[in-house]
Amino acid sequence: MSTDREGPSIESHREALRRIADHARAKFAEVHEAREQALRFSREIIRNSASAIRAAHRAEYDRALDLLSGLTAQVDEMNAVLRDHPSVYYAGYVEDARKEYVEAHATLAFVRHGRLPTPEELGVGPAPYMNGLADAAGELRRSILDSLRRGDLSRCEALLDLMDDIYSALVSMDFPEAVTRNLRRGADMVRGTLERTRGDLTVALRQSRLEKRLAELSRSLSDGPDRA
């Protein structure tokens, strides 16, 4: 006598498929909504970070601080929305937004002589933080060039040293690009920016020293004995 038992019916398979599809559809809907919110947050964070950087360069520090305060709230809200959605949390556009957020904070700290916030204080991971610092080095070049145009050389060498320190920190991160999010590319860009800025500043300093010597020589000649 056969001992084979009849397996699940076609109808039971259909019912199981319906339950699985309903569950998957609900999960997809959650991820989709999280993704849509993340895109909105990312666009706003990138836009407001750029505004904060412009305000910092214009010495509009109160406005920059207000913008950064709003950015912090946006980043915290985005992190809360994405906490249960790691596939979106680590998406490229979300990482880019965090990088711009770090760049804005670092730029204001550097040009205002403020304290540089830590990754933990900003609620970001090491990859977007270090990449944000790489971008901030470019803003330091802008600050140096603005000072050179104004004829103010007092802070330029200190800012150049800070760019050098950023580069040294970046090149010390000897890890795969998948871990650092292409940080090596950022380090290479900082190196090029650093060398161009060093050349520009060297020329400006030499010109400034020459002008001072010529002015001293002119004064000494004008103050010399009357030959008449």
**What's the pLDDT tens digit per position in 42-82?**
999 999 999 999 999 999 999 999 999 999 999 999 999 88
Q: Can you list the domains of the chain with their CATH numbers?
A: 24-124 (1.20.58.2140), 139-220 (1.20.58.2140)
Measured in residues, the chain has a length of: 228
pLDDT at res. 225: 57
pLDDT at res. 165: 97
Task: Find out whether 108 and 64 touch, Cβ atoms under 8 Å.
Answer: yes
Check residue 175 and report its DSSP letter: S
Nearest to 27 by CA among 103, 87, 68, 80: 87
Q: How is residue 133 written in tokens?
A: 């610092």
Q: Which residues of the chain have pLDDT under 70?
A: 1-6, 216, 224-228
Strands (E), 1-107: none
Task: Find out whether 169 and 159 touch, Cβ atoms under 8 Å.
Answer: no
Q: How is residue 35 written in tokens?
A: 């993704």
pLDDT at res. 5: 60
Residue 100 parent element (H or E): helix 92-112
CA distance 30 to 11: 29
CA distance 8 to 61: 70
Give the predicted TM-score (pTM) of the model: 0.85
pLDDT at res. 206: 86
- Sort 176 into a burial class: Cβ within 10 Å, 0-12 / 13-18 / 19+: exposed
pLDDT at res. 87: 85
pLDDT at res. 1: 45
CA distance 219 to 216: 5
Q: Quick check: helix, strand or coil at residue 65?
A: helix
* Residue where the block lists tokens 């920016």: 193
Nearest to 164 by CA among 137, 128, 188: 137
pLDDT at res. 228: 45
Tell me how far CA of residue 167 lies from CA of 111, 170, 182, in angstroms: 17, 5, 15
